[in-house]
């Protein structure tokens, strides 16, 4: 069986390094290239403790992709770089698996156009942790029975976008499953933003602190009761089973798949 050749964009970062290790641990995958704006010229093998691996970090270009010809590009970069990376991958005949957050609905429309034009496939997932996907599924079920809900998402202090993609996706799912939209009410906010941001009536609160990785709780309120659904990623390795699942599935898909829940 032919191995799936994989390149990683954002390989110098903590998530990128974790993806490189996970790919190397898979018998049916092969790491063929690593890209990043930082660490260029450094050997990724030395960075992740794989001394026998000799792949140098370079910038992501069409020429670089066409030279190594990966089947899949995994992207964990920044909201400012991810769209160009997706476009470059598809124009080079490479299928992107994207874990970078900050992608908007407008961005998804553009990605859909690029994917259709290329005749390939792409996977964009706000969260690759299987537990987080299940949290969203459970929240969708609860949304049918509870009239009120708020989302609190907590991430490490290096995360630059807020709210997180997972929180936005959760709010979107809850909105679609609600039997009726909650009635609006007057509020006296003594400080701007005290109630967080809102997406279609769902309040979202973002926390950024060192020591955190990725956490989210969805709190539902009803008559005389509350229900809290919470997921915690305590280590970045929690995202790897989902990333590996996406890599294995993308070669047999067509079009854009948004959300890991569509593959489990």
- Cβ-contact 229, 142 below 8 angstroms: yes
203 neighbors 151 (Cβ within 8 angstroms): yes
Tell me if residue 248 is catalytic.
Answer: no
Q: Please give the angle made by the CA atoms of 151, 153 and 159, to the nearest 5 degrees.
A: 150
Task: Please say if 155 is a catalytic residue.
Answer: yes
Q: Which residue has the tokens 């790897």?
A: 240
Tally of residues, the chain? 264
**CA of 140: how far to CAs of 135, 182, 211, 214, in Å?**
9, 16, 29, 20
Other beta carbons less than 10 A from residue 254's beta carbon: 10
Give the 3-state secondary structure of residue 260: helix
Diameter of the chain measured on Cα atoms: 63
Give the rounded distance of the alpha carbon of 155 from its chain centre. Answer: 13
CB 253 within 8 A of CB 121: yes
**Catalytic residue (choose from 137, 159, 203, 248):** 159
| Helices 240-250 and 130-142, axial angle in degrees (round to 10) | 90
The catalytic residue among 155, 205, 215, 231 is 155
What residues are annotated to the active site? 155, 159
């Amino acid at each position: 069986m032919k191995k799936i050749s994989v390149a990683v964009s954002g390989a110098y970062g903590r998530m990128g390094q974790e993806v490189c290790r996970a790919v190397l641990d898979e018998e049916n995958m092969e790491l063929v290239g690593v890209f990043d704006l930082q660490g260029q010229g450094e050997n990724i093998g030395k960075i992740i403790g794989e001394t026998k691996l000799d792949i140098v970090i370079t910038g992501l270009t069409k020429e670089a992709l066409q030279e190594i010809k990966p089947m899949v590009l995994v992207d964990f970069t920044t909201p400012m770089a991810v769209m160009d990376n997706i476009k470059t991958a598809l124009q080079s005949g490479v299928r992107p698996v994207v874990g970078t957050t900050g992608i908007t609905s407008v961005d998804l429309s553009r990605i859909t156009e690029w994917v259709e034009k290329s005749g390939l496939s792409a996977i964009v997932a706000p969260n690759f942790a299987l537990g987080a996907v299940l949290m969203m599924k459970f929240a969708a079920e609860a949304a049918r029975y509870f009239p009120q809900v708020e989302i609190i998402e907590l991430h490490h202090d290096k995360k630059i976008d807020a709210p997180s993609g997972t929180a936005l996706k959760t709010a979107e799912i809850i909105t679609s499953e609600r039997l009726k939209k909650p009635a609006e009410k007057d509020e006296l906010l003594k400080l701007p933003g005290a109630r967080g941001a809102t997406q279609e009536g769902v309040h979202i609160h973002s926390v950024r602190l060192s020591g955190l990785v990725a956490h989210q709780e969805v709190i539902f309120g009803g008559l005389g009761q509350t229900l809290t659904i919470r997921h915690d990623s305590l280590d970045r390795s929690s995202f790897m089973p989902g990333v590996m699942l996406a890599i294995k599935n993308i070669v047999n898909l067509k079009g854009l798949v948004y959300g890991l829940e569509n593959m489990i």
